[in-house]
Chain A
Amino acid sequence: MQGFPGGLPDLAHLQATMNAIEHACSLIQMHMNPAEAESVIASLHSSHMPYQTCRFIIETSKVPNARFQAAGAIGDAAIREWGILIDENKRSLIIFCLQYVMEHASAPDAYVQSKVSAVAARLLKRGWLEFPEAEKAAILFEVKQSILGNHGSGPQFVGINFVESLVSEFSPSTSSDLGLPREFHEQCQSFLEMNYLKEFYCWAQAALLSVSNKILEHPTSVPEEKVCSAALRLMFQILNWDFKHTANEPDNSHSRINTLTSGIRHDAVMLKKFDHSLVKPGPTWNDVLISSGHTSWLLNFYATLREKCSYDTLWIDSPIAVSARQLIVQLCSLAGAVFPSDNGETQIKHIALILSAIIQWIDPPDVISASIQSGQSESEFIDGCHALLSMASLTSAMLFDNLLTSVRPYGTIHVLSSLTSEVVKILTVNQDEEETWSADALDILLETWSVTLGQMDGDKTILPHDRVFAASSLFNTIVESHLKAAADSALDENDDTEYFHASVSKRDERLASYALIARAAADMTVPFLVRLFSERFSLLSQRISGNESTRTLEELYWLLLITGHVLTDSGEGETALVPEALQAGFLNVVEAVHHPVVALSWSIIQFSRQCLDTEMRSMYFSPRLMEAVIWFLARWVATYLLPLDTRKEQISTTYHDDGSQHESQFSRKILLTFAVEHNQVDFVLDSVVRISAATLTLYPGENELQALTCQKLLAALVRHKQISVRLLLLDSWRDLARAFANERALFSVNARIQRSLAETLVCAASFIKDSEASAQYLRDLLGPIVACLVDNSSRNDLKAVAQQADAIYMVSCLLERLRGAARATQPRTQKALFEMGHSMMNPLLTLLEAYKNQSAVVYLILKFVVDFVDGQVVYLGAKETTILINFCLRLLQIYSCNNIGKISLSLSTSLRSEAQVEKYKDLRALLQLLTNICSKDLVDFSSVGDDENTTDISEDIDVFEKCLSAVNALASYHFKQRSAGKEGLNAQTVESQGSNGKLQESITSHFLRLLMQLLLFEDFRMELAGSAADALLPLLLCEQDLYQRLVQELLERQPIPALKSRLASAFHSLTSSNQLSSSLNRPNRQRFRKNLHEFLVEVSGFMRIK
């Protein structure tokens, strides 16, 4: 072939290489010596100009894997050597690949063909912007001819397959790495979308038409089916494109009106959760997709084929059926300007058309689910659910419900409700089998509910009564099925803790979706919950026992969870609000006692208080039930105790305008104020604190329960000022604080939980206005702890006593508590906490020395100091800073002198690797500490001997990033000081010792060498390029001469002249392009980041960069 790159080696050599590759491939297949075999193959990929060899292998080898590898090698080599190939080379590589696949269209081992085809697509994209238009057109013309079927069905399939590779290569999310910046990919994407995408779609349509009749008429399967499913897949893939050029988008002011009149939503939420997205190809696609009747043709095609193959139960999962359904579901998500602006009429027709076809996939639900349970494939059913979800997200609830009226006597929501009921029933019966189709279907259906109901909050459209009834009866089915499942599983002995942890967020997500359904019919569902709850509660009052009580406990557990979700939103990290649906509902309630939400809340709080009764607790309040109680209280307290609106003393006045809204406002007010009335706040708070104290002392060893208590419930109490202020006045809170400070009982709680408790207790202090009172509170709380550590560290017999297990345990607990306190540092408590820390400094150093061989204690000391410095450093003045820094430096000295050069000896590899992990943790803590200190600008560093491990740990990106930021802080400081004419890092640091024991020039040059080494020769990761640039710039500026020398050395070591000049120019533009100056301000750092990124891209071909 003309212009094929690379000189022609002799035949014997080609043969030898081919044999080597074939041998390696067969070794890999037999799993023998895979490392060596892989390195043989990798050497082909990375060799210089391997094209002739690869071509020889592809054309002659009998081993399909060898051909596959050779094709991949062409791609990798050409991308790498793109700069040294001439245009003719590039074109001939692409044409070679395409010709090969056309000629071997019907050969076996299709994966080889698709690999070759993908390589052609990849290379075509790489050259897309440099090839002349005519050349590309010529290539694509050939492809078009084969897709239209002019060369038979084999090449037809190959052509479609190639276009599929091309589209996936041009779509940024699926494109392969070309070593080029993002802009290139974006340009290609936009170009293809504008000029070819629609054309490709038409080709696929034409291919589909050309084979459809044959498929439909032929009684058995024909080879054209392959073409057909490939064409459908390509069309689906094209519609999956992330369209950018969607001109004539109706602007938002219009869309609002549109929504109201037509029911088509333009605010449609993305369907990201299930990897679907809205398809908005723009007005130019109208003729292809809409006016041509494409959709109804496709629906008919599928229906006819389905009818024809109804005898074959496997047909539903055949490639042709799967890809046709995928395309149909994708067409459901069609939106935007592809439809004419006729107030949504065409779009509604389009959606209704699809719904009337797919309704057969899902309705009637009970019949279909029965057939799935008896072995029928579920994929059509699942696709139907997906289609429903797409439609729901494009339409208002009303329109969604009405879509079905032409084909069914009931609405879509009715279908949705009975579908969901059916699926829940099946799921709760087969709870043991995870990942069944019913779980998938339920997720999709619940999302459909969320989409439909979620919008109502905003629009205030109220569903007609029968739809509300549908939601309420669905919720009843859900609750009853789950209660039954709960009761049935209550006696299971299986240790499903691990499963429980993995799925707890999944469970919460599902419960939250159930809760949305419940809120849509709150008038009926909340009273329903009240009734269920009081039934179970009264059973307990009758003192039932044995299995019956366990079943009831499990039912209560589940009821508490679902009730918590119905009444409150998760509000992770946000201010919890009373759900709008609950505020807006209950129109005719005028008194708090009759408000179902109020009744439900009080009955659960009354129930919770029962755990304070010894007999009730020991009979019924199992740790598991308590976990639900604590969880519920935490959410309830955050939402209802002092709702945000009452805290601000202003209930929105907008509802006064409208007389009809007056009642709604009344029940709204009840909901927001019922806890405040009659001083219930203190009562509830007191109960909560006493229940918390009970879980901490009366449930020994129940770590999960106690963690929940401290981290969720108590933490929720000290989050808001008004609540905290009342809390601090309560005797029960004072008792808890006193017990924490002075009693032994709380030491039997897990040390980590003691830390959280300390954090919470200290946090409350920041709400005490009077600074003296607040300091006194902290002294009472922490004084005994500090005193104990101080006393013990000054004992004469410390050395002997300290190593005893109980002493170690005690010290660990105290340190954890101090750490919790340090983490709660607030402006108001900072001073008192600094004093506490100050008095601890010398004792801590003593303890660090005493416990040098107890790595767990050492780690706790380091972590305390990290948190202490982090909390304090921003507030401190010069004097305190000096104290703190000197302390940190002494700490570092003691640590390094005990640890550097130490080798841990252990017989067991696992213990040794544990020790290694502990060292990493220490190192991480130290680096955090350094970064924290460095954030203060006025520090004189005198010893930073711990960073020497940088090279070993490039594996651990997190640690590595911290190292880089520490180096950055250090070097920036040094540079700033020096440019200000000061000494910078003092001599002691500057002359650091390298790992070889030889005295090195300076610490900055040491780091510069290390970093250059890492960037160019180690497995450097591109995601670290940003932080590497930040660290490299100050080093460069500090050590300009050394840098020039290093660059010179590198250039001299490069043997190939072409590469040498590229490297030289890359180095040149690294430091000179983008007007880089020698300062460390932000814009300059940004410029350098950009330069380094381009540099790494440029040299990645011949240096080792991933």
Chain B
Amino acid sequence: MSDEEHHFESKADAGASKTYPQQAGTIRKNGYIVIKGRPCKVVEVSTSKTGKHGHAKCHFVGIDIFTSKKLEDIVPSSHNCDAPHVNRTDYQLIDISEDGFVSLLTENGNTKDDLRLPTDENLLTQIKDGFAEGKDLVVTVMSAMGEEQICALKDIGPK
């Protein structure tokens, strides 16, 4: 038996793939999975067998992390599924432009100007009002499979 070392296999290079194969049986509730080409958060997993003496299969219910659409999939539990790389990055909010784009401050001092405000009225007002009141806001941007969206907001500013 060989003594392998456990190491993260990924390298930090830019060309890393957008997904990673993971055995269906190991994906748990609240994990991530790609269903029909969309990155999803798993909200329900159930297992069943194909016939009484067949193999287990997993039934996943996922919610698209960007569009919130519900998607479902059934996979034999020994097979691999694609798990998306879901990244979250914090940026300080520096401006909201008239046309609905935000201006964010990156860690190395540049700005990132290609993100839209969320469309939902409720979330929109939370950001807009906070910004208008002069609070220092940090937004968390979630990115997966080439898409990005603001997913959390935090007030770090002075009262």
User: Which residues of A does B touch, CB under 8 Å?
Assistant: 489-493, 495, 497-498, 550, 553-554, 622-625, 699-704, 735, 738-739, 742-744, 747-752, 784-785, 788, 791-792, 797, 800-807, 809-810, 814, 853-856, 901-908, 910-911, 914, 918, 997
Contacts and interface: CB of A to CB of B under 8 A. Distances in A.
Contact of B63 (A493, A853, A910): A910
Contacts of B54: 622
Nearest to B58: A701
B152 A904 contact: yes
A497 B85 contact: no
B6 to A, nearest CB: 4
B143 to A, nearest CB: 9
B52 A856 contact: no
Kindly state the interface size class of chain B when it binds its partner.
35 or more
Interface in B101-159: 118-120, 123, 126, 140, 150-156, 159
Given A497-B46, A805-B32, 13 more contacts: A491-B51, A497-B47, A704-B56, A739-B1, A742-B3, A747-B6, A784-B6, A810-B6, A853-B89, A853-B140, A907-B67, A911-B65, A914-B30
Interface in B38-75: 41, 43, 46-56, 58, 63, 65, 67-68
A744 B123 CA distance: 43
B8 A803 contact: no
A855 B56 CA distance: 28
A791 B77 CA distance: 31
- Looking at B25, B26, B43, which has the most chain A CB atoms within 10 Å of its CB? B26
Given A700-B23, A907-B68, A792 B63 contact: no
Contacts of A905: 118, 120, 123, 126, 150-153
Contacts of A918: 30
B6 A907 contact: no
B7 A702 contact: no
A945 B33 CA distance: 35
B150 A623 contact: no
A489 B7 contact: no
B83 A805 contact: yes
A914 B43 contact: yes
B87 interface: yes
Contacts of B30: 855-856, 914, 918
Given A803-B85, A804-B10, A901-B154, A490 B28 contact: no
Contacts of A739: 1
Nearest to B9: A806
Given A700-B25, A702-B55, A738-B1, A903 B10 contact: no
7 contacts: A498-B46, A550-B51, A625-B53, A751-B28, A803-B85, A810-B6, A907-B68
Contacts of B88: 803, 853-854
Contacts of B97: none
A804 B20 contact: yes
Given A497-B47, A856-B30, A997-B159, A807 B58 contact: no
B85 A804 contact: yes
A491 B54 CA distance: 10
B4 A743 contact: yes
A792 B8 contact: yes
Contact of A742 (B1, B10, B12): B1
Tell which of B24, B53, B83, B86 has the most Cβ of chain A within 10 Å.
B53
B5 A788 contact: yes
A489 B23 CA distance: 31
Contact of B55 (A623, A747, A748, A806): A623
B16 A804 contact: yes
Contacts of B23: 700-701, 748
B151 A801 contact: no
Contacts of A624: 49, 52-53
B83 A809 contact: yes
B79 A804 contact: no
B55 A801 contact: no
A922 to B, nearest CB: 12
B145 to A, nearest CB: 11
B126 A903 contact: yes
A880 B32 CA distance: 39
B26 A751 contact: yes
Contacts of B78: 699-702
B41 A914 contact: yes
Contacts of B25: 700-703, 748, 750
Contacts of A493: 50-51
Nearest to A705: B56
Contacts of B120: 905, 907
A185 B5 CA distance: 69
A805 B140 CA distance: 18
A752 B26 CA distance: 9
Given A703-B25, A801-B11, A490 B52 contact: yes
| Those 7 A-B pairs whose CB atoms lie nearest each other, nearest first | A701-B77, A701-B25, A908-B68, A853-B88, A622-B53, A701-B78, A700-B78
Contacts of A788: 5-7
B31 A856 contact: yes
Contacts of B55: 623, 701-702
A498 B44 CA distance: 14
